[in-house]
Structures are given as structure tokens and as C-alpha cells.
Structure 1
């Protein structure tokens, strides 16, 4: 246990390492608590150890790391050219850019339940998100598939989250090419292959 504590309590100025140390500390704490539950430990030594959290940079968005509107449109145009699934991938990635959805949220969208589109372009729509499908790998899911449907991040089961669908995204989702050549309303999901978009495709 001493080597683990030495690593976890080490002081590092680098912000990336700092974030990693904080994450590892949480995991290590959970492991010690589990040890108490199964009676492998008689006491949790962690609270008695001194630890100074490493300094981290502000959590604000670094604009240099985010695609600007011109870059985003160029990237989406490039995705559109990626064979048969290109148009569907454009709809998926456009949800991530214009609505700031998490990938696991966009994959879990069922069009008839979670998307409200206006009757024409140039207007706002709405997402009503209720599930997420994070990619964990079939060895780590209850269903044996790469993705399991679960509640939204940091929300209770059944709790929803409403997200505005801006006009540029509305136009993309209303386009016949956004769903393999048919109207999006006739599709089950935005994601490719019936809502089971695989990691290799992304």
C-alpha cells in the first residue's frame, strides 16, 4: 500500500498529471472502502494521510482546442463524403457540435421519442434526452453488447434533459440525406445501424 500512497500523494505541477492523480485517488479511495466492506481491511488508513491537491488549470474552454464554425462545416462536409454511411454520420456529429450532446447521448436518441423538429428550416427544434449508451465493450456490459442503455450522466433513472436544437442543426436533421436517403422521421435513430454505432465507425 505504501507505493500506492506515495504515487497518489506526489506533488506534480503538470495539469494533465494532476487530473490523473485526482482520478486515481478517487479510485483508490473506493478500493479501500470496498476492502472494509468485505472485511479485508480493519480500518481505512487514507483519511489519516496528508495530501495536498495538485494545482490545476482553469476548467474553462480553451478556444484553440474547439473547432470554429468554418472548421466545423468543413469537417462535416468531409464526413459526408465517407461512403454510404457518410450522411448519417454528418447528422450524428452535427448533434455533437451544434447541440453539444455527448456521444453516448446522440447514439441513444430515438427520433420519435427524443427529437422534436419544426415544420421548416430556419427554426429551433428540441431534444428531450432520457437515456445514454456509453461504449464500454461487450466484456463490460450486462447485455453482452458494446453499449448498454442507461440513465443520463449524473441523473436518476427516468430523468430527462432538454436541449435546444438550433436552426443549422435543424436543417441538417430535416435533410433527406441525413438518414440514408429517406426522411429522418422514418428512421428509428440518428445513429447508424439502429442506434448501435460502433467505436470503430466513430
Structure 2
């Protein structure tokens, strides 16, 4: 109840009588249970200046570092807290961001991908083929999953992919020039009421691009897709069943059915390839295992080297024996 009251009412903006944005809770008559919940929140909340005390900040960081079940939480929760405090500084409520004065170390966490459940090339290709067999929608979205695996793209990047971004020769390798993304966002949180936002590439300057070479198998998939389905009015390759951006609910439903059909019963009973995003992990893992330089892997995937080594350290450590062989060969050649 508290979450719904805050998320759907107190923190949600709506145009006021003068046209400026204000909290929906201030511009709309509230249901009685929502009003009671927000009154309770106001009564039990700390003032910002009180919350900024170091002991309060340390307690908040400790709480945000773990989920309700005690397992480590994502780092973005601390980032949201920091952004809120920076906004308080901007509004003059605080003189400085109090987080900078707190000596706090986050609990250790294992961010590495669990490679037991990352599909190998056979286990990745088979469900993609099974997606294609699921009628018209499956045939339309099979290349969507191909982009996840063969180009290690993020779903938001695939949703923004346009024909103009594709270099698709009749034979050989092609190239995608990634320039933007369309992440899913609740329609109540966007200015235009759409269920997505148009953004640049993740952690990149707004107008930056990322060229990604793609193997012949994906080049052919995208060529056939454009020939069969064309593009949207703005040139995008993929559309939802009723138009607009492809939603995760739509492609996840296709993936679940394809996974059950393509994998063995033993494989399907495990978390192996249980979500479409596992294809991106599989694509990056394939590049590393194939001996591609980590710097190039990180560039193609849109990662920083720090993130690449944090999530794929186990595979990268496994490449040490190959590196040792190359160095030994170089030493013996020098002798």
C-alpha cells in the first residue's frame, strides 16, 4: 500500500491548474486508503536535514545495500539516493551532499554471470529458430533475438534499430551503427504518455554511436526481415503486434514458449537461458572464448572494461593459459 501510494500518486507528476507539473497527490482527489497512507508517511518521515546526519546516511546505505530477503541489492538504489540528495542541494535544502562525508564500504558481492546457465551456441541458436516457428509474430521477432545473441545488443538498443543503421551486404559480414535506445518506462513517467523514452546509448554522450560488426548469419536474418516486413514510418525494424515499441511482455512470452520447445527437459528444468537477456551474456561469452581482445569485446558490447572484468572475470581468467602460451612462444622465438 505504501509503495503504491508513493509510486502511483506522491511521486508521479501531472499538470496542475496553471499548466506546471505537480505531484498527482496534490492535483487529484485521492482514494481514502491512499490519503491515509500518505498521511502516515508524512508523519513518520524524517526532515531532510535530520536524514542527512552521518549516522542516518550510514543506516540508509546499509538498508539499500540489501533486498528484503537479505541478498545484495543492485547498485542503482544508492545512485537514486545520491541523486535525491544532490537535488536537495540544488534546491538549497542542504549545503552539500551528505554521502560524501560518510565513510561507508558496500558489502562484498559477486557480480559475475553464472555461466552454468549461459547457453552455448547450440543452446542459443535452437530457441531462436523455435521463435521463428511461432507464427507471424515469431517470424517477425526472430531477428530481434538474433541481435541479442549475434550482436550482443541490449533490448532497448534493438527497439531503436533502424534500417539506416544497418550495413547488410549480400554476402559476408555486415555492420550495425548503434546510435540510440528506447528503454521501457511506465507511461505515467514520461512527458508524452508513451511507454518508452528515446535516449542515447547507455553511459555514452547523447549523439555518440557504436559500430558493431555482425556475422553473416545475422546479416542474412536482417536482410530477409526487411524484405519481408519493411520498416515502421520512422525506419525502425521491429514493431509490436499492435504497433509501437516491442514490449518485454511480448518477446518474453515468445521466448518462454521457444525455450520449452528447443531445450531438453533436463535443460528446461534449470535456469539455462531462462530470460532473453541471457543471449547477450552468451554473445559476449562467445567473443571472449573465441580469443577476441577484451578491449574490443567491451567496445562492441557497450561495456566499460571495468564492467566487463567484473561480470566476465571467470572467463577472462580462463584465457590466461592461452596468453601464457603466446608469451612463451614469443620468448622462445627471441632466443
Larger Rg: 2
- TM-score, structure 1 as length reference: 0.81
- Per the alignment, do residues 155 and 68 of structure 1 end up closer, same or farther by CA in structure 2, a change over 3 Å counting? same
Structure 1 segments of 4+ aligned residues over 6 angstroms from their partners: 10-14
1:23 corresponds to: 76
1:115 corresponds to: 166
More helix by share: 2
Gaps of 5+ in 2: 1-50, 252-335
Which whole-Å deviations, capped at 9, do the CAs of 1:141-198 have from their partners, x for residues lacking one? 23321122221111222211101111121222233xx35xx446x4333212466212
Q: How many residues align?
A: 191
Equivalent residue in structure 2 for 1:69, among 121, 144, 152: 121
1:105 corresponds to: 157
Equivalences for residues 154-165 of structure 1 within 5 A? 154-165=203-214
CA contact (8 A) 1:189 1:195 kept: no
Shift of 1:106: 0.7
Alpha-carbon separation, structure 2, partners of 1:170 and 1:114: 12
Alpha-carbon separation, structure 1, partners of 2:82 and 2:196: 27
Equivalent residue in structure 2 for 1:37, among 83, 90, 94: 90
2:295 corresponds to: none
- Per the alignment, do residues 70 and 141 of structure 1 end up closer, same or farther by CA in structure 2, a change over 3 Å counting? same
Equivalent residue in structure 2 for 1:198, among 247, 264, 284: 247
Gaps of 5+ in 1: none
- TM-score, structure 2 as length reference: 0.51
Shift of 1:3: 5.8
Alpha-carbon separation, structure 1, partners of 2:153 and 2:82: 31
Q: CA RMSD in A?
A: 2.7
Q: Highest relative contact order (Cα 8 Å, sep 6+), 1 or 2?
A: 1
